[in-house]
Amino acid sequence: MTRLDATSEPYALTKDEGRRTWSLGGLFTWKAEGHQTQDTAEVFEIRGRIGVGSPIHTHARQIECFYILEGELTYLLGEKEVRAAPGAFVLVPPKTRHALVVESEEARFLSFVFPAGLVKFFDEVGKPAEGATFPPLNLPMPDPAALETAARRSDQTILGPPLRPRRVR
């Protein structure tokens, strides 16, 4: 995919097209980035194995939405946990304490972010993917200080460690 900007022609991507990043143990495929949407939105697909997820955190200004395509996840939304299977939709308003974890062997889900602003976080704590595959199991996770620094730069606050899948809690 060539880099587009907000004045570019419309485009369409196939299932596996988009810029790829290995971040937080998952494969992120960017379908639309802020520079393509006048910073109004970002859309990306996440693929992860069991245990892949996010630390407990908040966003100062972003609304984050998720749509589950394959597999099962658990979301922490405020103080409650919600299971999400294919077809489920989750909306997280700004300033809401939340996290997610993949519960099935593998999962694939979409994230929609309004306004744009999270791509820089995932790029900073990750690295360009070397293909449309899961990251290598020996790829190190960012240390907590680096994670917190990157989060602050993208108006996020880390509140706690990642969730653990139910079968290993």
Residue 122 lies in a domain: yes
Domain membership flag for residue 2: no
The CATH number of whichever domain residue 57 belongs to comes to 2.60.120.10
In a domain, 102, yes or no: yes
User: 69 with 86: CB under 8 angstroms?
Assistant: yes
pLDDT at 1: 43
Give the model's pLDDT for residue 168: 59
Any idea what DSSP says for residue 24? Answer: T
For the chain, the domain total comes to: 1
Per-residue confidence (pLDDT) for residue 4, from 0 to 100 = 53
The single-letter DSSP state of residue 117 is -
pLDDT of residue 2: 46
Interval 147-168: pLDDT, tens: 999 999 999 999 999 999 987 5
The pLDDT value given to residue 5: 58
Question: What's the whole-model pTM score?
Answer: 0.92
- Assigned domain for 48 exists: yes
8 occurs within a structural domain: no
Instruction: Please give the structure tokens belonging to residue 1.
Output: 């995919």
In this structure, is residue 5 part of a structural domain? no
Q: What is the largest CA-CA distance in the chain?
A: 48
**Mean pLDDT calculated for residue range 54-83:** 97
Kindly report, residue by residue over 38-51, the tens digit of the pLDDT. 999 999 999 999 99
Q: Is 31:54 a contact under the CB 8 Å cutoff?
A: no
Residue 11: inside a domain: no
In a domain, 111, yes or no: yes
What average pLDDT score do residues 43-72 get? 97
pLDDT of residue 166: 87
Tens digits of residue pLDDT in 3-30: 555 556 789 999 889 999 999 999 999 9
Domain hosting residue 119, numbered range: 19-168
